[in-house]
Structure 1
Amino acid sequence: METKYDNLVDQLEEILEKNRDAEKGYRKAAENADSHSLKSYFENKASERAQFNNALKREMVANYDDIDDDSSFTGSIHRAWMDVKAFFSGDDDEAMLEEAIRGDKAAVEEYDEVLDDTHLPSSIATLIREQKTKIRTDLNKIKSMEDLA
C-alpha cells in the first residue's frame, strides 16, 4: 500500500524525470533550430532544466533519504516523451516552439499537482514554486517567440 509519503516522492521523481526529458528535448531542439537566437534559447532552457533537477535533488536528499533518481515510470509517460522527442527532432522552428509551449504547460500542471500536497516540506514547496514561476515566464516568452516565427 502506497503511503502519502511514497506518493509525494513518486510525484517529485516524476518531475525529475520529466525535467531530464525536457533537458534532452531542448538540447535536440537547439541542434535542429535554424535561428541562432532560438538555438541559444533552447540551450539556455536545457541548462535551466538541469539546474532545476540539481536543486530539486538536493532538497529531496535533505528531506528524504531514499530517493530513487533512476526510477522507471509508466509507459504513458515514456510515450509522451517519445512524442515530444519527435517534435523536437524536426527541423521546423515553429513546430519546436509549439511543442515547447505544450511541454511547459504540462510542466506547470504537474508542478501544481505537487504543490497541492499538504505534506510537502516547505523548502521543497518554495523551490517548486520558484521553478514553476520560471517555467510560466518562459511560457510567455515562447509564445511571443512563436508569434515572431
Structure 2
Amino acid sequence: MSYTDEVGKKLNALLEKNYDAEAGYKTAKEQVDNTQLKDFFGKQAQERYNFGHELKAELKSFGQEPDKGTSLAGDAHRAWMNIKSTFSANSADSILEEAIRGEKAAVEEYNEIINDSTLPPSTKSVLTKHRDNIQSALTNVKSLEKTW
C-alpha cells in the first residue's frame, strides 16, 4: 500500500464514522421532544455533514475516491438507540449517554490518526479542527446530561 493509499484508507474510515455520526444525530433529534436537545442534535448532524465534505476534499486531493454511505456498525448503533429510547423511562437521558459514548470514541479515533507522523500537514490541520469541535460537543453533551 502506498503512502497515498494509506492516508486514503484512514480518511475514508473517518469519513464513514462521520456519516454514521451525522445519521445518529439525526436519529437522536427525532427521538427527543425537548427543543434544546433537538437544536443541539441538529447542529451536530450538520457539523458532521460539513466534516464529511472536508474529508472528501482531502481524499480527492490525494487522488482517492471517497467512500459513500454509513457503516453496518453505525446502522446497528442507530437501531440500538431507537430500541433503547423506546423502552427507556427517560429516553433523552439514554440518547445523551449514547451521544457521549460515540463522541468519546470519535475523539480517540481522531487522536490516533492525528498522531500518525506520516500525515500531511493539511490533513492534520483539518483533523485537528474536527477533533477539537467533537471534544467541544462532548463537553456540551455532558453538561446537557447533567441537567437531565
TM interval, shorter chain, is 0.7 to 0.9
Measure, in 2, the Cα distance between the counterparts of 1:143 and 1:125.
26
Q: Quick check: 1:58 aligned with 2:70?
A: no
The alignment yields a C-alpha RMSD, in angstroms, of 2.0
TM-score (norm 1): 0.87
CA contact (8 A) 1:25 1:88 kept: no
When residues 113 and 81 of structure 1 are mapped into structure 2, their CA distance, relative to the original with a 3 A threshold, is farther
Structure 2 gap ranges (5+): none
Q: Quick check: 1:78 aligned with 2:72?
A: yes
Measure, in 2, the Cα distance between the counterparts of 1:25 and 1:88.
10
Aligned residue type for 1:53: G
Partner of residue 31, structure 1: 30
Measure, in 2, the Cα distance between the counterparts of 1:88 and 1:106.
20
Structure 1 gap ranges (5+): none
Q: Secondary structure at the match of 1:69?
A: coil
TM-score (norm 2): 0.87
CA contact (8 A) 1:5 1:119 kept: no
Q: Percent identity?
A: 34
Count of matched residue positions in the alignment of Structure 1 and Structure 2: 143
Structure 1 segments (4+ residues) deviating >6 Å: none
CA contact (8 A) 2:27 2:78 kept: no
Partner of residue 98, structure 1: 97
Structure 1 residue 56 displacement after superposition: 1.6
